[in-house]
Amino acid sequence: MLDNVWLIPLFPLIGFLINGFFGKKIKNETIIGAIGTGAIFCSFIVSCGILMELVGLSPEKRVFEKVMFTWIQAGNFKADMAFLVDPLSAVMIMVVTGVGTLIHLYSIGYMHGEEGFYRFFAYLNLFCMSMLLLVLGANMLVMFIGWEGVGLCSYLLIGYYFEKKSAGDAAKKAFVMNRVGDFGFLIGLFTLFWWFGSNANIWTINFMEIKAASHLLPYGGVVTIATLCFFVGATGKSAQIPLYTWLPDAMEGPTPVSALIHAATMVTAGVYMIGRMSFVFIKAPETMMVVAVVGAATAIFAATIGTAQNDIKRVLAYSTVSQLGFMFLAMGVGAFTAGIFHLMTHAFFKACMFLGSGSVIHAMHHALHHGHLHDDPQDMRNMGGLRKNMPITFITFFVSTLAIAGIFPFSGFFSKDEILWQAFSNPFHGNLNILLWGTGAIAACFTAFYMFRLVFMTFFGECRINSKVKDHLHESPLVITIPLMVLGFLATVGGFIGMPKVMGALPNYFEHWLDPVFELASEYGKTYAHSGAHYSHALEWGLMGGSICIAVVGILIAFTLYVKNTGAPEKFVSTFPALHRAVYNKWYIDELYDFLFVNPCKSFGNLLWKGFDVVIVDGVVNGTAKLVMGFSAALRGLQSGYTHNYAMGMALGVVAILAFYVFR
Amino acid sequence: MENIVIPAINMAVIAPEVILSLFAMALLLINVFVKGESKAYLGYLSIAGIVVTLFSVVSGWGCPAEGFSGTIVQDNFAIFFKVIFLIAAAMSILITDRYLEREGCNQGEIYPLILFATVGMMLMAAGTDLMTIFLGLEVLSVSLYILAGFNRGSLKSNEAGLKYFLLGAFSTGFLLYGMALTYGATGTTKVAKIAAFIAQAGINSSNLMLLAGMLLMATGFAFKVAAAPFHMWTPDVYEGAPTPMTAFMSVGPKAAGFAAFLRVFLVALPALKAEWTWLVWVLAVLTMTIGNITALYQQNIKRMLAYSSIAHAGYVLVGFVAGNAVGTAGILFYMLSYAFMNIGAFAIIILVGKKGEENNNVSDYAGFGYKHPILGIAMCIFLFSLAGIPPAAGFIGKFYLFSGAIQAGYIWLAVIGVLNSAASVYYYLRVMVFMYFKESTEEFGWVKLSPAFILCLLIAVAGVLIPGVLPGVFLDLAQKALFM
Amino acid sequence: MLSINAYLILSAILFAIGTIGVLTRRNAIVIFMCVEMMLNAVNLTFIAFSKYLGNLDGQIFVFFVMTVAAAEAAVGLALMIAFFKNRESIDVEDMNLLKW
Amino acid sequence: MEILFFGLVAAIAIISSILVITNKNPINSALSLILTFFCLATLYVMLEAPFMAAIQIIVYAGAIMVLIVFVIMLLNIRSEAGGRTNHARFLGSMTGVLLLILTWTVIGKSSLTGAKGAIDSAMIAKVGHTELIGKSLFTEFLLPFEITSVLLLAAIVGAVVLSKKKL
Amino acid sequence: MNEVILSLITFLPLAGVFLLLFIPSENKGLLRGFTLAVTVVTFLASLPLVTGFVTNADYQFVMKMPWIQAGPFKMNYHVGIDGISLWLVMLTTFIMPIAVLSTWHAVEEKVKGYMACLLLLQVGMLGAFISLDLFLFYIFWEVMLIPMYFIIGIWGGKNRIYAAVKFFIYTMVGSLLMLVALIALYFKGMATGAPDFSLVNFFGMNLDPATQTWMFLAFALAFAIKVPMFPLHTWLPDAHTEAPTAGSVILAAVLLKMGTYGYVRFAMPLFPQATERFTPLIATLSVIGIIYASLVAMVQEDVKKLVAYSSVAHLGFVMLGVFALNQMGLQGGMLQMLNHGVSTGALFLIVGIIYERRHTRLITDFGGLSKQMPVFATIFMIVTFSSIGLPGTNGFVGEFLVLLGAFESNLRWYAIIASSGVILSAVYMLWMFQRVMFGKLDNPKNQKLEDLNSREIAIMVPLIFLIFFMGFYPKPFIDKMTPALDKVITQTRLTKPVAAQPQMLPAAMPHEQPGLESPAMPAGQPAMPGAMPAGHPAMPGAMPAGHPK
């Protein structure tokens, strides 16, 4: 089975090709949907087989590389088209194909009747292929194909409703910001490649080879530079400060896209990449610190914005950014397993929530359409009380919300708590630990608050929509609700595979599974870890309880403000208008970027074009021509037609020549 | 009283000149005695004469001989130039007849005059005595004055002839003065003896009289080849003269001027090379630059080609500066190819013209390339060759000239030369811009091809393309024609 | 004994005067006369040299120069007549149809 | 004595040549030029070139100048109206003066170096100038002499072409 | 047989031109068909080059015949290809049928002349690529100009005359100076025993630095204009904008490669020391070019101009890679040349396609075309992403290798700055794409646009195929060119004055040990910056004046 790993990306590719080339002719949505879903489902089956086979091997042997062909070979540089299967990528392919399958299925229902149905499925398949390439890539360059490939698909899917200007803008923004990240990725790659080559004469970009040679890497120095560059790549892809602004805008895409790409898979690529190269990152303490700080900062920053958004998907988007921040926090504190764990659970519950919101929007849209109203179907202020109309959606959404809020025993609790605990107890960042933990904890509180705000605004209270259309709000069809239920279930129980040791009820399967991957990293980490300070179990229990409390506090605030005392938010807004405006407008970061980068680039471009190119360069060229023409006119003037002048010229010529030779 | 002992007369040496002169005289007689409106037969007869002369010239190739007490010589150098003159004369004659008919000055004397001019040029090329050269030059000049003013009904032609005459006579004064001083400094007028005397007496550049003689001769020759600042007559005369004669003048006399210039300076005055090299350097730069730059502004195509011919003289002077085998061979080759391309271009100009108004403005060529595609292509070939763009002969010629300069170490001169070439492209392209890139505004009057024209154009095209693509044999001949 | 330089300088003076004449006069015939004067100045140089050097080449040259002068006179005057017929003038300032 | 005579002739020559270029009337110019030619002929005699002096008179004064005067009469050319601008005159004169200075310097600074020939006064006196010229002309310089025939023919043809009645 | 293939494919189009003259001008279909047939046959005839090419550094399919033998000059008709020119020849023969097809209906007037010009152009381009004789190369190099001049000038847009003349004179100035250097080189070579003008004679001549410097500058100028490098690029937007589609395609796909090819084939291996000396300058200009052109492209209002500026940026990458002077960089540069040929060629075709329909190229005149022209949109998008350099498309491989190569060489910082061009390219291309293809289809003129017809699809398909093929499997391309490029590298690095070093070192820098390592380094490994000063030749002033007066 392992040998057939190449099938995994192949199926979606086939699906893409069929739908892409013939989708328009097929027309039948069921067939198109079946092809798309079937393709990814086949991948899922293969992935399961691979996972099984991997489980059957002893932990040290769980690394397998499949070389397809040499892709680029130039000088010392060699990149094979090769796939790497190890526990980490196994987790990822499971997540990608699993969640992917569900979302494909969901899309059949959700995208029903859309004009570009086939196109959508083609893109979705293409995305899955790219994502699978990303996670399976055995070297940085294959990963980079996937890395940019998912960016492309994200571009295509965000711009799916290309007739909307905002969609086009968002798509472009997403791609460009990703590109900024890719720039970092490339430089990081170059640096690493160069360092190994010139210092150790190891010319490679293959992960396993780098891993084998990683003991040669120094701590800090060039590794810091390389890893920071990689991290820039990660911030681009995973929407971290400062490159996060594209993700909320990306909600212009259809909701399944948001679920798959902008929640479950693509945006976690940065986290995965750090995990993949943990043995390099750990050698750069400064980078680790930066990762942790950026992660924590993003977590709280995005959370604050999330509190003031009214668009249901936007809230989820900021929540995603925030949760990704958690993951990076985990990576930054050396808790790679926890980071990946959160990645997985987040995939479950966030996908579930996005799909749930999609279900809501679908219903709202339907209802509004019926009533010929032009209200925004995504605006939560129009919703309310939907739990009665859409029970399945509500339940799945609710459990997912509990999971993200970190309520025991939902999956999010385990992963998030692990992260917070690691942030507190990690041996790397000295005094920063408390700050990291504190930030994470507050962010968790905010998370609980705004998520429940969302739930309360959407599903509780009275329906604020026009009563005429209220009756048209229906639960979505099965094809939509089945994925919701599966994901809801996973969001509920998914955490048990990674139960903390202190609880001891179950072994931490997840950690054991990933241990071989991060073994080396933790080994390197030890060499510069501060005091092996051991924290008591009691403290761990205490913090665990504390984080639940924090979550509950957040929920309670939300409950108070949006269920009990619904007038309070307005009051709050009127008390602190500036703050609200700032938060509502996302702290004006987009405007800041426009001011700092976009507009200067444009005006500089204009200046260069109309100033430099046209005036100076062409000016010199045309000026030379003009000058010569001027000379021409002047010389022509000598040619007066008068014989005297000609004779004079000759005589003067003679005189000059003679004079030069006679008097020199 | 002693008897006059007539020295050995080697008639073979002057056979071409004699033949051509005889033909010219015969034509004069025929012209008087045979009446007829069309004088084309005279043209054909003179072509016949030229062909015969050509054979006579070519037969001397490779057998150097001296005649008339060293006043004239038959060497490959002279022969090569004579071939150029004959080609130029023949091609000009081919395009003369129709033109004269159109302009209404169809007088048969023009053909003998062209032949006389050709004789003069041949004497310039072959003369090894300053007197022979001077007289050859005068035969040429006197004929040319008349040819320039030949269309006596046309004020422009009168003016051209008169201007040419006055300025030519003026420059003759300087040339003569130079010859006189040279004679004074060396005691002889024979180029070989001058060189021998300078070498034997150890005269060097500190001898001001010789130096001044050299400089004044240089100005005289510079006038003939239209080098700046002695070029100013050229545009006016070329513009005013009957077009076929312009074609002839721009090629033959220029080549003859160079032939004499080269012979006097390279054979008689090599000792002063260090001196005249810099003079010629400056002349070359001035000539190229002034010619090209002024040409940029021209609207009248004849005038433009006149300036261009000044520029071409400049390029040739570059080869002169080099003074080495490559450069000199370059001059020979270049003059040969220049004959084809320039006369070819003028032939087209004649075709485009009408009586009275000759349609000589560049803008009159709008759409010409479409109305007459074949002529258009031919014109393009000539212009590209003039601009020095491969694979035309003009390119090879320039290549050789500049190579000579580079070989001799005059890199800057070569650089100035190529930059000039680049500038020149502009005005040649301008004609093509009108020919192809603009729509025609009016009809072209008089494109009536006669067999003579076709022949001339064919020769010109072949003469541009064959040496352009396969220059080897021509260059080889040019190399063999050097007297060093 | 009179130095040859005297002759040479006289001829230089005449040559210069001839040049000045060419440069300053407007009448084509006068200009031509001035050119003739220049040629004569050169002739004087030739003959002076010839005498000094003791060979006759210079004098032969003068002989030819005279011939040339004659030929030029014939042609030149013919040209002037032709021009005059059309333009009613032989003033060189009137020869300005061809320029630039 | 000789110097004095030379000085006199030279002075006349210079004055008459200046008159050539200053006289407004072309006829006067022509007459002055003839005077100059005579002076030159005198000098030729002084330089032991009597034959040259003779043809100077015959060809120049006799033929060429007559032709010129004839043409002047024919064309009925009046005096130059106004003449050139002072500016141009000045420039032209200065150029001529510069030229003179230069040639003078050249002559003054250089010693004559040319190869001496065998013909001295004695030989001229013995053989006769004309004979010497003739010999030279028909032996050594036969070819140039023949060329003059072509030259003159061309000139004649040219003159005829340009001025014959029927076009 | 092998010897004549190159001559065959080069002069086949010329024969085509002669036959074309006998086809009546009115029969446009036949004219087009015939030209297409000629180009296709040429392409087919060139296929044996790939199959018969043996992967080594030698010149292959060589044919050498005496041509001009006069005086000191011996020029031969000496043609042959190696891994460098092989692909450029193939690119040329491949692009030509596409170019012919691209203006099938766009050019309705003077079809005969147009087709003749295209074929002549092909002769010039192929000739320049296959020439192994410097003189022959120069001839073809110049010959190329003529048909292109007419193509732009006759069948071009509104401002065509200006563009054509500018194109011609710009190029002419550079190439004439190159001619001077070329001649000088020949004489230098003759002094050291070069028997003829063949290129191989002039490698490793050990010219003195001053001579090298000015010769290199002359060559570099000619090539830089052709490339075009900043700041000599201004002719390109004009020429591109005004040229008809086929002209733009050929200009972008092949003609610009002449410049970069010239560097690789001539300027660098001939003048190694000068190359080393000017590498920083050229790298700087390349990087400026990348950023500059990208910024300028961003604000263009005319699609074609935008693409033209993007060309400048792309070629900046090529130049950077080439001057990285290591395997990766050179291979990347070469590959990027091919990529640029394919993808920018395709972009110009695309622009041509919409121009043909709408007769405007202003971005603001479009918008929302995706809806009306989905096939077009797809193809456009693929090409756009190829141009951006998305992994999986050809653009990526080249760009990546270029940057990697530059990064591994002394040009590290240049590579880093250049990498930001990757971002900018995404910005301007996507912005353009968005404005043209996305949004509402609100311009009524656009609402009746027809999607691609089969001819247009037929011309795009091979390009799209190549985009992906070269993106996923560039190996055959790279493999075939590698030995030749290695040779270039050794030639260019050969003349570090190793002999001079021991004498200079003790006095100049007695303790600078790293300097000694540079010659000992394995080939392909970049010399460290620290190693430079020792190996660097003395400045020209210190050398005996080799400059002729």
Q: Which of C78, C97, A637 is nearest to B239 (CA)?
A: C97
| The 3-state secondary structure of chain B, one letter per residue | CCCCCCCCCCHHHHHHHHHHHHHHHHHHHHHHHCCCCCCHHHHHHHHHHHHHHHHHHHCCCCCCEEECCCCEEECHHHHHHHHHHHHHHHHHHHHHHHHHHHHCCCCCCHHHHHHHHHHHHHHHHHECEHHHHHHHHHHHHHHHHHHHCCCCCCHHHHHHHHHHHHHHHHHHHHHHHHHHHHHHHHCCCEHHHHHHHHHHHCCCCCCHHHHHHHHHHHHHHHHHHCCCCCCCHHHHHHHHCCHHHHHHHHHHHHHHHHHHHHHHHHHHCHHHHHHHHHHHHHHHHHHHHHHHHHHHCCCEHHHHHHHHHHHHHHHHHHHHHHCCHHHHHHHHHHHHHHHHHHHHHHHHHHHHCCCCCCCCEHHHHCCHHHHCHHHHHHHHHHHHHHHCCCCCHHHHHHHHHHHHHHHCCCHHHHHHHHHHHHHHHHHHHHHHHHHHHCCCCCCCCCCCCCHHHHHHHHHHHHHHHHHHHCCHHHHHHHHHCCCC
**Rounded to the nearest 10 degrees, how much is the dihedral formed by the CA atoms of E218, E220, E221, E225?**
150
Number of helices followed by number of strands (H, E) in chain C: 3, 0
CB contact under 8 A, D110 and B185: yes
Strand A64-74 to E60-70 pairing: unpaired
By Cβ distance, the residue of B134, B170, B236 closest to C22 is B170
Chain C interface includes A642 (CB < 8 A): yes
| The 3-state secondary structure of A161-176, one letter per residue | HCCCHHHHHHHHHHHH
Chain B interface includes C83 (CB < 8 A): yes
Sequence ranges of the domains in chain C = 4-98
Q: Give me the residue label for tokens 């660097």.
A: E536
CB < 8 Å from C in window 120-159 of B? 130-131, 134-135, 138, 142, 145-146, 149, 152-156, 158-159
What is d(CA A411, CA A500) in angstroms, rounded to the nearest whole number?
12
Q: What is the pLDDT of residues A502-537, one digit of tens each?
A: 776 677 777 777 777 787 777 777 777 665 556 777
Q: Say what the pTM is.
A: 0.88
Q: What is the pLDDT of residue A10?
A: 87
What does each of the 549 residues of chain E score in pLDDT, given as a tens digit?
A: 678 888 888 888 899 998 888 888 888 888 888 989 999 999 998 888 888 888 888 888 888 888 888 778 888 888 888 888 888 999 999 988 988 888 888 788 888 888 888 899 999 999 999 998 888 999 899 888 888 888 888 888 888 888 888 888 888 888 888 898 888 888 888 888 878 888 888 887 778 888 888 888 889 998 999 888 888 888 888 888 888 888 888 988 888 888 899 998 888 888 888 888 888 899 999 999 898 888 888 888 888 888 888 889 899 999 998 888 888 888 888 888 998 989 898 999 888 888 888 888 888 888 778 878 888 888 888 898 888 888 888 888 888 888 888 888 888 888 888 888 888 888 888 888 888 888 787 778 777 778 888 888 888 888 999 898 888 888 888 888 888 888 888 888 754 443 333 333 333 343 433 433 344 344 444 444 433 333 344 333 333 333 443
Residues of E in contact with B471 (CB under 8 A): 68, 70
What is d(CA B214, CA A650) in angstroms, rounded to the nearest whole number?
16
Residues of A in contact with B219 (CB under 8 A): 650, 653-654, 657
Size of interface A-B (CB pairs under 8 A): 75
Q: What is the pLDDT of residues A440-469, one digit of tens each?
A: 888 888 888 888 888 888 887 777 776 667
By Cβ distance, the residue of A644, A648, A659 closest to D102 is A659
Q: What is the pLDDT of residue B52?
A: 94
D19 burial (CB, 10 Å; 0-12 / 13-18 / 19+) is middle
Q: What is the pLDDT of residues E147-178, one digit of tens each?
A: 888 888 888 888 888 888 888 888 888 888 88
Residues of A in contact with E482 (CB under 8 A): 74
Number of neighbours of residue E350 by Cβ within 10 angstroms: 23
Name the β-bridge partners of E64: E78
Give Cα A520 to chain centroid, integer Å: 26
Chain E interface includes A28 (CB < 8 A): no
| DSSP state at residue A598 | I
Q: Could you give the 3-state DSSP secondary structure of residue A84?
A: strand
CB contact under 8 A, D142 and B9: yes
Q: What is the pLDDT of residue B317?
A: 93
Task: State the best of D3, D47, D85 to mutate against chain C, taking most chain C CBs within 10 Å.
Answer: D47
CB contact under 8 A, D142 and B208: no
What is d(CA B454, CA B461) in angstroms, rounded to the nearest whole number?
10
Between the alpha carbon of residue B179 and those of residues B271, B387, D64, the distances in Å are: 17, 36, 23
Q: State mean pLDDT over B197-225.
A: 88
Name the β-bridge partners of B190: B129
Write out the two tokens for E359: 């007769």
Q: How many CA atoms lie within 13 A of D105 on its CB side?
A: 17
**Whole-complex ipTM:** 0.87
What is d(CA A281, CA A328) in angstroms, rounded to the nearest whole number?
12
Number of helices followed by number of strands (H, E) in chain E: 24, 2
By Cβ distance, the residue of B21, B109, B197 closest to D161 is B109
Residues of B in contact with D145 (CB under 8 A): none
What is d(CA B59, CA A230) in angstroms, rounded to the nearest whole number?
84
Chain E interface includes A72 (CB < 8 A): yes
**How far off is chain C from B441, nearest CA to CA, in Å?**
26
Element (H, E) at E65: strand E60-70
Chain C interface includes A641 (CB < 8 A): yes
Q: What is the pLDDT of residue B217?
A: 93
Q: Which of E119, E129, E176, E126 is nearest to E150 (CA)?
A: E119
- CATH class, domain C4-98, is mainly alpha
Q: What is the pLDDT of residue B462?
A: 93
What is d(CA B132, CA B139) in angstroms, rounded to the nearest whole number?
10
CB contact under 8 A, C49 and B183: yes
Write out the two tokens for A650: 């000759």
CB < 8 Å from E in window 246-305 of A? none
| The 3-state secondary structure of E433-481, one letter per residue | HHHHHCCCCCCHHHHHCCCCCHHHHHHHHHHHHHHHHHHHCCHHHHHHH
Q: What is the pLDDT of residue B356?
A: 63
Give Cα B214 to chain centroid, integer Å: 22
CB < 8 Å from C in window 609-638 of A? 636-637
The answer to whether residue A238 scores a pLDDT higher than 50 is yes
Q: Which of B321, B288, B458, B480 is nearest to B388 (CA)?
A: B288
Q: Which of E261, E337, E309, E262 is nearest to E91 (CA)?
A: E337
Residues of E in contact with B423 (CB under 8 A): 169
What is d(CA B99, CA B306) in angstroms, rounded to the nearest whole number?
19
Q: How many CA atoms lie within 13 A of E237 on its CB side?
A: 25
CB contact under 8 A, A644 and D92: yes
Residue of D nearest to B1 (CA): D127
CB contact under 8 A, D96 and A651: yes
Residue of D nearest to A646 (CA): D92
Between the alpha carbon of residue C58 and those of residues A263, C9, C54, the distances in Å are: 109, 17, 10
Q: What is the pLDDT of residue D150?
A: 92
Identity at A417, one-letter amino acid code? D
Residues of D in contact with B183 (CB under 8 A): 114
Identity at A46, one-letter amino acid code? V
Q: What structural domains does chain D harbor?
A: 1-79 (1.20.120.1200), 120-167 (no CATH)
Residues of B in contact with A636 (CB under 8 A): 294, 297-298
Chain A interface includes C27 (CB < 8 A): no
Query: Which subunits sit against E, judged by 3+ Cβ pairs under 8 A?
Result: A, B
CB < 8 Å from A in window 182-241 of B? 208, 211-212, 215-216, 218-219, 222-223, 228-230, 232-233, 235-236
Q: What is the pLDDT of residue B256?
A: 94
Q: Which of A211, D142, A129 is nearest to B132 (CA)?
A: D142
Q: Angle at CA E288, nearest 5°, toward E283 and E292?
A: 155
Residues of D in contact with C48 (CB under 8 A): 47
**How far off is chain B from D150, nearest CA to CA, in Å?**
7
A137: Cβ–Cβ under 8 A, 6 or more apart, which residues? A82, A83, A84, A143, A144, A145, A146
Number of neighbours of residue A145 by Cβ within 10 angstroms: 24
CB contact under 8 A, A655 and D91: no
Q: What is the pLDDT of residue C66?
A: 92
**How far off is chain A from C64, nearest CA to CA, in Å?**
24
The answer to whether B241 and B147 are in contact (CB under 8 A) is: yes
Ramachandran sector of residue A139 (left: φ over 0; alpha: ψ -120 to 50; beta: rest): beta
Q: How many CA atoms lie within 13 A of B60 on its CB side?
A: 28
Q: What is the pLDDT of residue E519?
A: 40
Q: Which of A370, A376, A127, A442 is nearest to A259 (CA)?
A: A127
Q: What is the pLDDT of residues B377-433, one digit of tens each?
A: 899 999 999 998 888 899 999 998 999 999 898 989 999 999 999 889 888 988 888
Write out the two tokens for A586: 């996302």
Rg (CA), chain A: 30
The answer to whether residue A265 scores a pLDDT higher than 60 is yes
Peptide bond just before B391 cis, omega within 30 deg: yes
The answer to whether A622 and E170 are in contact (CB under 8 A) is: no
Residues in chain C: 100
Size of interface A-E (CB pairs under 8 A): 160
CB contact under 8 A, B209 and D112: yes
Q: What is the pLDDT of residues C37-93, one digit of tens each?
A: 999 999 999 999 988 888 888 899 999 999 999 999 999 999 988 888 888 888 888
Residues of C in contact with B239 (CB under 8 A): 98
Query: Which subunits sit against A, judged by 3+ Cβ pairs under 8 A?
Result: B, C, D, E
Element (H, E) at A69: strand A64-74
Q: Give B359 or A664, the one with higher predicted confidence.
A: A664
